[in-house]
Amino acid sequence: MASTTATAAEGRPRGEAPRAKGTLYRGDLGMWSWVAHRITGVLTFFFLFVHVLDTALVRVSPNAYDTVIETYKHPLMIVFELGLLAAVLFHAFNGIRVMLVDFWSRGPSLQRPMLWTVLGLWLVLIIPAAISMITRAATELFGG
């Protein structure tokens, strides 16, 4: 009886290394984009959850709210703000790319160049922001 599925040796192009048993992904850029999109989405959700909770403190205890807001003014929190900015920027740009891949007829064939565009835009925006925010944090922390 003939099989409708090719064996691993038949399905692999000539010269390509065999994939390890039990692995689903090969670790290409698209997979890491997928992973980063999920991680940045969870981080953004976590920030929004914490933000709603700390804002709700104002109705429970204005003093507790003031204490929380004072901790946010610490220079170390600028590093967390930078992480939040990096996560939101990547998630937004990559989300647009995902929508284009899903709903644009040419999207699947252009998904790799669009990913490089997303990474380029992200770098162009995050590097100056990082320099500015880290400079501000260092100035506040060490005086200036």
d(CA 5, CA 21): 17
Question: Per-residue pLDDT tens for 129-138?
Answer: 999 999 999 9
> 52-90 pLDDT, tens per residue?
999 999 999 999 999 999 998 888 899 999 999 999 999
What is the rounded CA–CA span in Å between residue 50 and residue 29? Answer: 31
- Comparing 30 with 23, the larger pLDDT belongs to 30
Over the chain, what is the mean pLDDT? 86
Angle of helix 29-60 relative to helix 62-72, nearest 10 degrees? 140
Judge: domain 30-143, CATH 1.10.3720.10. Answer: no
Contact yes or no for 74/139 (Cβ under 8 A): no
What does each C-alpha distance from 56 to 67, 69, 71, 84 come to in angstroms? 13, 12, 16, 21
pTM of the full structure: 0.76
| Residue 119: per-residue pLDDT | 96
